[in-house]
Amino acid sequence: MIPPQHLRNIERAESIARRMDAALRIPGTGIRVGYDSILGLVPGIGDTLALAPSAYILKLAHDSGAPPHLLGRMAANLGVDWLIGLIPLVGDIFDVGWKANLKNAALLRQHVERAHGTATSRSPTLTGRPATATP
């Protein structure tokens, strides 16, 4: 059985990830963007500001017992997002597709489910597909 705190951590991480990576749909398309993409439009500082909620997802993973290699993978997702996001225009376009926060939330869910040998009640994750966390 999954500890209630770990379930709350997953729910918080997924909620933050949806807001940061998929809060809004661009009208007339199936493309979803979040506050991370919007903040990224502000050169330099926008991408850096978007790291705060992303780092919180990393903290939730740490609090849920994620091993160092998983935390490193999640940090690498954020690092790629931040570094490429610093490049004007190219970074903004990249950010729409990369969605590091959604990847990290899926990695957290996958870790907790594997660690406790069970699936949560919301196992089809954010996309409605089974939890897969390959970036």
Cβ neighbour number for residue 7 with a 10 Å cutoff:
18
* Residue 35: band (very low, low, confident or very high) from pLDDT cuts 50, 70, 90: very high
Per-residue pLDDT averaged across 88-113, rounded?
94
Has residue 127 got a pLDDT over 60?
A: no
- The dihedral over CA atoms of 106, 6, 68, 85, expressed in degrees to the nearest 10, equals 40
Has residue 135 got a pLDDT over 50?
A: no
Query: What b/e readout covers 30-52, taking b as 16+ CB neighbours within 10 angstroms?
Result: eebbbbbbbbbeeeeebbeebbe
Q: Residue 129 and residue 120: Cα distance in Å, rounded?
A: 14
Position 133 scores a pLDDT of 47
Per-residue pLDDT averaged across 88-97, rounded?
90
* Residue 120: band (very low, low, confident or very high) from pLDDT cuts 50, 70, 90: low
* Surface-to-core class of residue 88, CB atoms within 10 Å of its CB (0-12 exposed, 13-18 middle, 19+ buried): exposed
